Amino acid sequence: MEEYALIDDYAVIDPATGKRLATFPQASQADIDAALGAAASACESWGRASSSAERAALIRRVGELHGERRDDLATAIGREMGKPKEEALGEVDFCREIYEFYADNAARLLRDEQVPLRHGGGTAVVRRSPVGALLGIMPWNLPYYQVARFAAPNLAIGNTIVLKHAPQCPESAAALHEIYAEAGFPRGAYVAVNATVNQVAEMIADPRIAGVSLTGSERAGAAVAEIAGRNLKKVVLELGGSDPFVLLSTDDLDAVVEAAVTARLDNAGQVCNAPKRFIVADELYEAFLDRFTTSMLAASDGIAPMSSVRAAEGLQGQVNRAVAQGAVLHVAGERSGAFFPPGVLTGVSSNQDAFSQELFGPVAMVFRVSSEVEAVELANDTPYGLGSYLFTTDPEQAERVANQIDAGMVFVNGVMLDAAELPFGGVKRSGFGRELGHFGMDEFVNKKLIRTHANA
């Protein structure tokens, strides 16, 4: 993922035209100190004192406000990062589902857990409670969804949030800040700050921050983890991926191709857990490649711009290196500013840079394999391990291969199946920790043991 974490210019720049539409002020040191102080204070006065039902009611209202303002919210991220209106509306709707999930389930997920005792009398209970104020460092590609999956479970716990959004998303960041305030959260429960890189480093080290969650690049994740480690802070990192799409057998190749193209071009190809490496059994390879390439290239006329000219230039550099190193590019047209035509790379081998990189845009790599074993080996031959996709008509093969794929998520015979109740996260250089589902409630929580002796 792009290094937008390294940019301090908070501005709305239309990726389709390159025109600066609005500029937002950076936070002063006084602003940062006030945000940290308010978040720490709110955790003590509200987070630890409120009931799960009270917090759930506020989270539910956040979801309702997303519904009431869905059109305005969707329009804002269209201006910021070029997202088509229907996709933007879908993102807002998914966020509402996430808030509703935690509103509906917070009390159940936070209830005391009885621990059966092997010896002695009395009782043992694990009680879940907040750990404090958390710093969230969010990317630009899904401006509302990334916040929802971090903030919703942690506010349900009673943790408070200091949110540093991507500099190119200041309008949507401000809209979210306003929604949380209008939902009834007290001052400091959710605070948005337009922080600089140096200020972020200082906030991570500040004792008022109890933990950090980042979605972004490997470089940003390593930097955040290093500072957090020196200061003994827990981190959750989601650092992107180069997800395999493994096709071993099918009764409907056209449906598989449609799923592959839809998933690859979602959000102009700028989704961390989208399939990026298409690994196809030998007997299906030629037919799949022909139909997949035709469909990808046919989408050129309707493709949305990438999030910025810089993003498109970065992808162009990766593709150019791949071709120079021996890959073959199938494409219709050329890049124009932030508009990048969908493309398909074949002939990519392990000695080429692209083989081990994430192509964060509308470009796919397609590989031929001669066996299930070779497919698994190729799927796992990547420094990443976020998501993966497996298509097969054989249930036993599906079970066998899914168990062997080294990733945080495996989706069998379907794409775009994420849901509020399902855990999201990866392994290897895709990061660590989980968000969403009940797993999202277990990252930044004090699982406090209360052991009572029988004679007490």
Which amino acid is residue 16, in one-letter code?
A: A
Q: What is the DSSP string of 86-114?
A: HHHHHHHHHHHHHHHHHHHHHHHHHS-EE
Residue 256 three-state SS = helix
* Class of residue 190 by CB neighbours under 10 A (exposed 0-12, middle 13-18, buried 19+): buried
Please give the Cα distance from 288 to 231 (Å, whole number).
Answer: 50
User: Active-site residue numbers?
Assistant: 238, 272
H or E element in which residue 145 lies: helix 145-157
What is the maximal distance between C-alpha atoms in the chain?
79
Contact 275, 415 (CB under 8 A): yes
Per-residue exposure over 270-293, b if at least 16 CB sit within 10 Å of its own CB, e if not:
bbbbbbbbbbbbeebbeebbebbb
Which single residue is written with the structure tokens 């959004």?
Answer: 165
Q: Which candidate, 193, 156, 188, 207, places its Cα nearest to that of 51? A: 156
Distance of CA 104 to the CA centre of its chain: 22
Q: How far apart are the first and last CA of the chain?
A: 55
Look up residue 381 and give its two tokens.
């031959």
Task: Spell out a b/e string for 427-450, using b for 16 or more CB atoms within 10 Å of the CB, else e.
Answer: ebbbbbbbbbbbbbbbbbbeeeee
**Cα separation of 17 and 379, whole Å?**
38
Total residue count of the chain as it appears in this document: 456
What is the arrangement of strands in the sheet containing 343-346, beginning at the earlier edge strand?
Answer: 328-331, 343-346, 363-369, 275-281, 243-247, 389-391, 411-412
Where are the extended beta strands (E) located within 115-203?
Answer: 123-130, 133-137, 160-164, 190-192
Of 435, 440, 390, the residue nearest 414 (C-alpha): 390
